[in-house]
Every structure is written in structure tokens, then in C-alpha cells.
A and B are shown apart, each in its own frame.
Chain A
């Protein structure tokens, strides 16, 4: 192998490895490199999460990321809402986010999803479960606190 390709290959290898190792060592993320921290925290026996409920003529219904708010999936949507909640001016940002989510929900049928009940409002709750063996995943949360609400006429919380 000639010298020039060897130098080029060494440069490429060193570059890729340097960023990879830097991210692993520091825990930082330089996508597409990363430190892959998924599920790396310690989880308590309580799980707090954000959940979206639609207000319809028949009452509240639980809404889910991918099914109701595509292109968001559940994990991305909830983490995004949590980041907005803790950001400066979080209330205003959450109101705008919820109004946008209502528009995404309205596009469900255009995406080929089954006909759904029209929403009068969208509510964001913090919910909490106490985790114990035997749970099936269908149990209602032990605690539910309203965080934000958006209505059709644009009124917030």
C-alpha cells in the first residue's frame, strides 16, 4: 500500500476514533457519534411521566405519540414537552406546542388513521405510578396533575 493512502486512512481512523472515544469518556453527544446513555440512569420504584389527554364530547381520552401525533413517537414527544416545560418561558412554549399537537392530531385521518373524535381541547398532565411486580401496564396512574391545556379557541391553561 502506498504512503498517501496509508496517511489518509490513518487520518480517517484517528478522526473517527478520537470523536467516539471523546464522547464515551465525557458522556457528551456529537451526533452521529454519541455516548449511548439510553436507560443508563437509576430508576426508582415510582415512574413519573407526561401524558396527553384529548378533551372530546365524550370526555377525556388518552392520546399517544406515534398513533395520534405523528411524526412524533411517544418517547421523543414526551422528552420534548419536558424540555419545553423546564425551558425559560416554558408556559408560553407549552401552549404553542399543544396547539401544534392539536393540528397534528387533526391530520390523523389524512395519514390514514381511523376516524377519531374531534378534540375540543388538549391537556398535558404529569402522571405517576408506583411500580410493583404484577402490573400489566393498563393501570391508571396513582397521581395526575394538570400542567397545561390548549383549547380550540386558542385559550391556554
Chain B
């Protein structure tokens, strides 16, 4: 029973195009989101601030070579683009994952982990493990003749190989929110969900984070609103776990989580832009693609029966 449910959850058959579209959208979005990223400044920061995390502990100290970081950034952003179009796919995606780990992890080694970039790195690690370039890739187009002779059933087929990577990425994304909700209950207990606590967060951040609006100050005047926001935050975050299993809960949970993050931006000055790539995983890209695809191709790809 467990094995059957496990298999049904992870290995629902999908088309190669489904996974390929997720690849295209994910890498393209990550490229746009991280285009302004510039880690070169960290080479000017004193080693006294160096507090390495994770695999960065193997380094003897912070990187000092400004030019090297500059080159790595260009390589990384280029690899995101080539991964999106599926050119030199395997190398591109491995490079995007390795350099993404390094460049997005580096700032976290200077005192504090910001949790915004964790999920994109996980996604960058999952995609190279998948067969996401079996469709809609430059590599595929270049090798089309050979593939059509030897591997036609994979190219046009529907198989579980194309389902699990997206399902895993979706699961990890929703678990991010469940973890956040669970951490509030573990560290703060039920008292976290009080108006006093919510008000203290909103008012405190006015001084420590300089948010773009004084909305927190306005909302904090209302005990009722503070209480509602505190309870709603935890409930919405915890709803991510049942949304993993109950398909009907998924859309309301995602809308709630997205709304929560949009709401947080003007109040606390925290921008969850990298999480856009996580929300994009749940959109029906194949449906959009079918609608946008030129009619002759659609006719070719349609089932004969």
C-alpha cells in the first residue's frame, strides 16, 4: 500500500514537454531574478566577518580575488541561459548548480543566512538529475535525426521519468513554508499567534529594517488585525503540508502563501522574489504551450485516436 502510494505520488507519468517547459521557465526566471546579483563586494569584506556555512567550511577564508568572482558570475548567468535553451545541456546545468551553490551561498557566510536563495539552489540541483532536455532543447534539435532513429518512443512518450523531478521540486517548495510555520510553533509556541507578538514584529521592523511603507505602523494600531494576521500567517504556512497530498487544497494554499509573501514586502521590507520560480512550478505550462504553439505542430503532436 505504502509502496503503491509512494509510486503514485512520485511517478505519475508526464510528457517530456512538461518537464522541458519547467526547465525553460525555471532557468529563464532564475536568470532574470539573479541578473543584478554581484558578489564581488564580498572580496572587500574583512575575514573577521567570515562565518562559513555548509560546504563553505572547507575554504580557508573568504575569496579575495575580485576578478575571479566576476568571471564566475558571468559563467553562472550564461549557464542559466544555456540551460534554459538546452544548449550543451548537461554541462550547462551542472555548472549552473555548482556556481549557483557558490554564488548564492557566499553572502550567507558573512554572519546571517537569508533563506530566500535556498530553494532556487535546490531546484538547480534537481534539474540536472532529470531528463529535462529530452524535448524543447537546442541539443535535441541538433541531434534530431539520430534521436528519431533510435529513441522515438522516449521523445513522444509519456513516462514517469518526466514527472518526479517537478513533483520533488514542488514538494520541497511547499515544505519551505511548512518549515517556517512549524518553526514559529516550535520556537514561539502558541504565544506566537498573539496580537502582541505580531504587533512587536511589525513595529520593531520599522526601526531595524526600514520597510518601504508605514503599513506595519498602521496595522499595529488594530488589535483585531494584529491577532488575525498572526493566526492567519501560521495557518497559511502550515497548510502547505496537507496541500502536498490534497490536490484540492493546493491552489488555495498557494494563493494564500503568495498573498502572504506579497503582504510581507511592504510591511517588513523582505522581498521573496526568488520564490517566484517555486510558484511557477505549479502553473500548467504545457497547456499554455499547446495554446501558443503553431497549429501544424499541434496537429502533429495530437493523439490519433
Answer whether residue A24 sits at the interface, using C-beta atoms and an 8 A cutoff. Answer: yes
- Segment at the B interface, from A43-51, A53-61, A112-120: A43-51
Does the CB pair B188–A40 fall under 8 Å?
yes
Query: What is the chain B residue whose CB lies nearest that of A50?
Result: B208
Interface size on B, residues (CB 8 A): 73
Flag B44-59 by CB within 8 Å of A: 1 or 0 each.
1110110101100000
Q: How far is the CA of A32 from the CA of B113 in the complex (A)?
A: 10
Measured CB to CB, the closest approach of chain B to A43, in angstroms, equals: 4
- Besides the contacts A20-B179, A40-B186, A134-B221, what 18 more A-B pairs have beta carbons closer than 8 Å? A1-B11, A6-B11, A12-B126, A13-B168, A17-B171, A32-B117, A32-B118, A32-B125, A36-B115, A38-B180, A47-B200, A64-B210, A70-B41, A71-B41, A72-B110, A81-B111, A133-B221, A137-B206
Does the CB pair B168–A41 fall under 8 Å?
no
Query: What is the chain A residue whose CB lies nearest that of B185?
Result: A40
Does the CB pair B110–A135 fall under 8 Å?
no
Quick one: given A20-B172, A34-B115, are A29 and B53 in contact (CB under 8 Å)? yes
Flag A17-45 by CB within 8 Å of B: 1 or 0 each.
10011011001011111111111111111
Does the CB pair B175–A31 fall under 8 Å?
no
Measured CB to CB, the closest approach of chain B to A14, in angstroms, equals: 10
Answer whether residue B160 sits at the interface, using C-beta atoms and an 8 A cutoff. Answer: yes
Interface on B for A, CB 8 Å cutoff? Answer: 10-11, 38-39, 41-42, 44-46, 48-49, 51, 53-54, 101, 104-105, 107-108, 110-115, 117-119, 121-122, 125-126, 129, 159-161, 164, 168, 171-172, 175-180, 182-184, 186-189, 191-192, 196-197, 199-201, 203-204, 206-211, 214, 217, 220-221, 268
Q: Could you say which of A24, A40, A70 contacts B175, with CB atoms under 8 Å apart? A: A24
Flag A90-103 by CB within 8 Å of B: 1 or 0 each.
00010011011001
| Max count, chain B CB within 10 A of own CB: residue among A13, A39, A49, A77 | A39
Does the CB pair B209–A74 fall under 8 Å?
yes
Quick one: given A24-B175, A27-B186, A103-B44, are A76 and B208 in contact (CB under 8 Å)? no
Does the CB pair A39–B112 fall under 8 Å?
no
Q: Could you say which of B107, B114, B126, B179 contacts A35, with CB atoms under 8 Å apart? A: B179
| Max count, chain A CB within 10 A of own CB: residue among B42, B101, B191, B196 | B196
Chain A residues with CB below 8 A from B44, complex form: 103-104, 107
Measured CB to CB, the closest approach of chain A to B208, in angstroms, equals: 5
Query: What is the chain A residue whose CB lies nearest that of B109?
Result: A31
Q: Secondary structure of the B side of the interface?
A: helix
Does the CB pair A42–B191 fall under 8 Å?
yes
Quick one: given A12-B126, A35-B183, A43-B197, are A76 and B111 in contact (CB under 8 Å)? yes
Quick one: given A42-B191, A137-B217, are A80 and B49 in contact (CB under 8 Å)? yes
Interface on A for B, CB 8 Å cutoff? Answer: 1, 5-6, 8-10, 12-13, 16-17, 20-21, 23-24, 27, 29-45, 47, 49, 64, 70-72, 74-81, 83-84, 93, 96-97, 99-100, 103-104, 107, 129, 131-137, 139, 141
Does the CB pair B210–A24 fall under 8 Å?
no
Q: How far is the CA of A72 from the CA of B161 in the complex (A)?
A: 42
Query: What is the chain A residue whose CB lies nearest that of B10?
Result: A13
